[in-house]
Amino acid sequence: MEGLFITFEGTEGSGKSTQIHILTNRLLEMGREVMALREPGGTAIGEEIRHTLKHSASNAAMFPETELLLMNASRSQLVHEVIRPALCKGRIVVCDRFFDSTIAYQGYGREMDVQLIERLTEFVVGSTIPNLTLLLRVPLEVSESRRLTRLNSQPVAQRDRLEEEDRSFFERVERGYDAIAAAGGTRVRSIDATQAVEPVAAEVWRWVEPLLKVRPEQGERAFKTIGEYRNEAPG
């Protein structure tokens, strides 16, 4: 795959949407072909699954196992229908959440078996792993107050099942993101998102820009095919 795959992670109210908006505009202004996606969702099937997970009237009865599988069902559709084809065409894909959210929310938040989630993730995404994951960190109190403000201003019909969870759930999610940051190596970059929007955007750019340099302009290919190498081989 020759495109560039960037994901944003973080708890509610960490400012992901704003940063994704700034980054994608910047890339578009440079003439890059960019796709901004979200999880769960991002395809017609995925958006139906998103509705079931977040807003449907019957979703209070959902079991954690069902939630885990629906998150991955949405992801499977997104990977096959959108992400892989886009990367194969050399596009930049920016996704609001990806498999790290499942580790943080279902693995740590719901206290499900993280190794099982990793195996499921491998089945669903295969080699479609982000080149860069930007983890926007804010303290629990900040995300909690932003989440509660949003929750209280929503009409009842728009209620969000996941945002209704209690403080201990989000504490565990934070611990999940701590573990992801510690284990993620150079793929995962943590950013202090308590800063103002502009300094956060500058840090995002600091990690993204070097990855653009090693990639070709739209339409060119970064790597030769095996056949091209063979054609060049002496004798």
Contact set with ligand TMP (CB under 6 A): 38-40, 71, 97, 101-102, 105-106, 162
Both tokens of residue 37?
């996606």
In the chain, the largest separation of any two C-alpha atoms, in whole Å, equals: 73
In whole angstroms, what separates CA 90 from the centre of its chain? 19
Residue with Cβ nearer ligand TMP (8 or 90): 8
Name the nearest CA neighbour of 136 among 171, 208, 188. Answer: 188
Residue with Cβ nearer ligand TMP (162 or 181): 162
H helix runs in 30-166, sequence order: 44-54, 64-78, 84-88, 99-101, 114-125, 140-153
> What does the DSSP 8-state code read for residue 227?
H
Query: Which residue of this chain has its Cβ atom nearest to ligand TMP in the complex?
Result: 105
- Shortest Å, Cβ 58 to ligand TMP: 17
Q: 96: which strand partners?
A: 8, 38
Distance, CA of 15 to CA of 194 (rounded, Å): 9
Residue with Cβ nearer ligand TMP (83 or 90): 83
- Shortest Å, Cβ 98 to ligand TMP: 7
- Shortest Å, Cβ 173 to ligand TMP: 8
Residue with Cβ nearer ligand TMP (84 or 147): 147
- Shortest Å, Cβ 157 to ligand TMP: 16
Residue with Cβ nearer ligand TMP (168 or 225): 168
- Shortest Å, Cβ 105 to ligand TMP: 3
Both tokens of residue 227?
């056949």
Q: 132: which strand partners?
A: 6
